[in-house]
Amino acid sequence: MKKITTILNDFNELVMFKHSIFSLPFIFIAMIVSSVEVNGSPWFGFKLLILGVLAAITARNFAMGFNRYMDRDIDALNPRTINRPNVDGRVSATQMLVFVIANALGFIVVAYFVNDLAFYLSVPILFVIGSYSYFKRFSYLAHVILGISLALAPIAGVVAVSETITLWSILLSIGVMFWVAGFDLLYSLQDIEVDKELGLHSIPSKFGPQKTMLISKVFHALTVLFWLLFAISSNSGMSAYIAVIISAVMLSYEHYLVNKDFTKIDKAFFTVNGYLGIVFFFLILIDSF
């Protein structure tokens, strides 16, 4: 039992399972809004609830597992990542590959039981979320690719409930894309020197800290704009607009923390963004009644 627990903990650390907090709220935001449109109620049923959770977990496990598998050589040269399970031997390359394949197949199977459109989109979605691991090797736009990967979450949510892709879900997703890309830019400030040494491409290593923080601010301003357009397009009530306002305040606070002290990047990245998604979700849920 102890050995199993150790293995589970190692894989949990490998994929940073707690970071699911970034995408899960927006999957269910889309599912709730879509269910109100289709069913007249925010409740979309236990079947879609279970399948939605499984789809989110398997997709993210695939993406993170594949990224760790591809980056094991890079992570071994970065002091910040040298103690990760993919580097120190706790999880072997073979184990990671099996884990990645299992989660990819799991995601496709789950999508099959959701509906036809979800199934048809499952492989293209895996292709997109797996491509991030390659982009940073040749393009500084990798931050945007990561944003697109998480932005697929609301699209997946609306497809699961209504088997369509609506305008408001696209606007919500674009907001998620800029949100994720913006905070990934701040997080990447920690690796400027390492990226330069290893020849990796990132906006911080290409443009420097000050321009990176400016680009991040622009991205987060666009986040607020597209989430506002989402609220308008989905005919949402006052709670949705409050969610947008609170998001703007939290993102401003995030930039305040980083501008004040680079050592606060972890707090800005994990704490502020984690709470943002949760608050947004609950306010949309309240708005749906």
**Comparing C-alpha atoms, which of 170, 168, 189 is closest to residue 240?**
168
CA distances from 57 to 21, 54, 96, 103 (A): 11, 5, 16, 8
Q: Give the per-residue pLDDT at 10.
A: 66
All structural domains of the chain, each given as residue ranges with its CATH number in brackets, are: 2-287 (1.10.357.140)
The total number of residues shown for the chain amounts to 289
Asked if 187 and 213 touch (Cβ cutoff 8 Å), the reply is no
Which pLDDT belongs to residue 2? 66
Q: What is the mean pLDDT of each run of 10 residues along the chain (289 residues)?
A: 70 68 87 95 95 93 91 84 85 92 97 97 95 83 92 96 97 97 90 83 90 96 98 96 97 87 66 89 95
**pTM listed for this prediction:** 0.93
Q: State both tokens at 69.
A: 């598998």
Confidence at residue 240, expressed as pLDDT on a 0 to 100 scale:
97
Q: What is the pLDDT at residue 71?
A: 86
How many other C-beta atoms are found inside a 10 Å radius of the C-beta of residue 73?
10
